[in-house]
Structure 1
Amino acid sequence: MKKSFLVILTCVISVIIFQAFTTSREPHFKNLQILPKDISGHDLDSVMHHFTAALGVKCNFCHVRNESERKMDFASDDKPEKNIARKMMLMAIDINKNYFKGMEHDMDHDMDHDMKNMDSSMHKDMVHDMSNMVHDMSNMDHKMMEGDSKYMLQSVTCYTCHKGDPHPESKLPPRPEGPKPAEQQQKPADNK
C-alpha cells in the first residue's frame, strides 16, 4: 500500500514539476500586426491606454463588441479605425527611428509640458490617464522594446498631434510672401 502510494505521489509530483518548467510558445494575444507577438498584458494595456488618452476615446473607437459573447472582440478588424491606428503606429515608428534615433529624450518632461498646455476642454480624468501612461511607458518591460516597436512611443507619439482629439484639425503652413518659384524662372531677362 505504501509503495503504490509513493509511486502515485512521485508521478503526480513529476507531472507538476514538468508543467511548471514548460512554457507555452503560443502568443497570448491574437491579430497583433505591429506590436510584438510576445508583449505582456501589462505592456499591451499601457500602449492601449496611451492611445485612448492621446485621442480622448474609449476602446470601442477601434474595437468592436461581440454581442453574442457580451465582450469586446479585440482581434476583429471590422472597424476601419483599427487599420488607421496601425498606419499611424508605423508612421510614428518611422519618424522616431529615422529622425530621433539615438537622441536622449525625456518623455516625462515633454509630456508634463504638453499637459500644462492642454485645451480647457480636456477632461480631468484624461489628465490623470496621461500621467499614468507616462509612468507606465517609462517602466515598460524590455521584451516589448525589441525591434522597431521600441520607437513607437519615444519622441513623437499619438498625443503629439492628436492632443485628445480623435480627428485633429490640420492646417497647411502659410504660403511664403513674394512670387512663386515658377514665376521667378519664367520672367524674361532684360537684354539692354
Structure 2
Amino acid sequence: MNKKLLATLSLSSVVVFTAFTAMQPGRPEPKITNLKVLPKNLTFRQVDHIMDEWSHALGVRCNFCHSPNPETKKMDWASDAKPEKHAAREMFKMMNSINKKYFKAEKDSLGVMMTTGVNCYSCHRGNPHPEVVSAPVPPRNGGPQAAPPAGATPAGTPPATPPPGNGR
C-alpha cells in the first residue's frame, strides 16, 4: 500500500475521531443561583470568568468569599455565610455607580466595562485589603523646597572646611 495514502487515512481517522468525541454532550453546566448584583441570565461559564477576574484582582482564591457546605465538603457557591461575599457585592455596586456617573463607558455582554472606568484591580492590585496611601504633604510654603546652592550650609551651621585665607 502507498505510504502517502496510509498516512492520509490515518490522519483522517484521527480528525474524524476527535470531531465525534468533541460533539458528544458533556455534563450539563451547573445552575447558577443567588445572583444578587450580576445579571441573572449569565451562564455558569460567564460567572466563572467574572469570578476568575475578581479573584486575580484581589489575589485570593474562591474560599475567600465562598464557604464549603459542611455536609458535602464541596464549595457552596450560593451560600451567603461569609461577610466577604456581601462586601464584594457592595464593592461591585459601588464600582458600577462610579463608572456610570463619571465614565459613561460601554459595557460588554457580561456587564463589564469595555473601554474605560474603574474595576476591582484599580484599587486592589492583587491585595484583598488595599493599602490606604495618603498623598505626600507639600512643604508649608506651598512649593517644593529648592536644593541649596553647592557649598551652602543651613543658617547657623559652620562650614565643613574653614574658608580660605584664614591664616591657620
TM-score under structure 2 length normalisation: 0.58
Match of 1:155 among 109, 117, 123: 117
Equivalent residue for 1:171? Answer: 133
Counterpart amino acid of 2:92? Answer: M
Root-mean-square deviation (CA, aligned residues, Å) is 2.7
> What does residue range 66-145 of structure 1 map to in structure 2 within 5 Å?
66-102=69-105, 142=109, 144-145=110-111
Structure number with larger C-alpha Rg = 2
Give the secondary-structure state (helix, strand or coil) at the position aligned to 1:85.
helix
Equivalent residue for 1:29? Answer: 32
Equivalent residue for 2:61? Answer: 58
Residues 63 and 74, structure 1, Cα contact 8 Å, conserved in 2: yes
Describe the superposition over 1:156-184 as per-residue Cα deviations: whole angstroms up to 9, x where unpaired.
111111111111101232445549xxxxx
Equivalent residue for 2:166? Answer: none
TM-score under structure 1 length normalisation: 0.52
Identity of aligned residues (%): 45
Counterpart amino acid of 2:57? Answer: A
Residues 105 and 115, structure 2, Cα contact 8 Å, conserved in 1: no
Moved over 6 A (4+): none
After TM superposition, give the deviation of residue 153 of structure 1 in Å.
8.9
Flag the structure with higher helix content: 1
Point out which structure has higher relative CO (alpha carbons under 8 A, 6+ apart): 1
Describe the superposition over 1:127-178 as per-residue Cα deviations: whole angstroms up to 9, x where unpaired.
xxxxxxxxxxx9x6x2x33xxxx44995211111111111110123244554
**Counterpart check, 1:49 vs 2:52:** yes
**Runs (5+) with no aligned partner, structure 2:** 1-30, 142-168
C-alpha spacing 1:76/1:152, structure 2 compared with 1 (3 Å): farther
**Runs (5+) with no aligned partner, structure 1:** 1-27, 104-137, 180-192
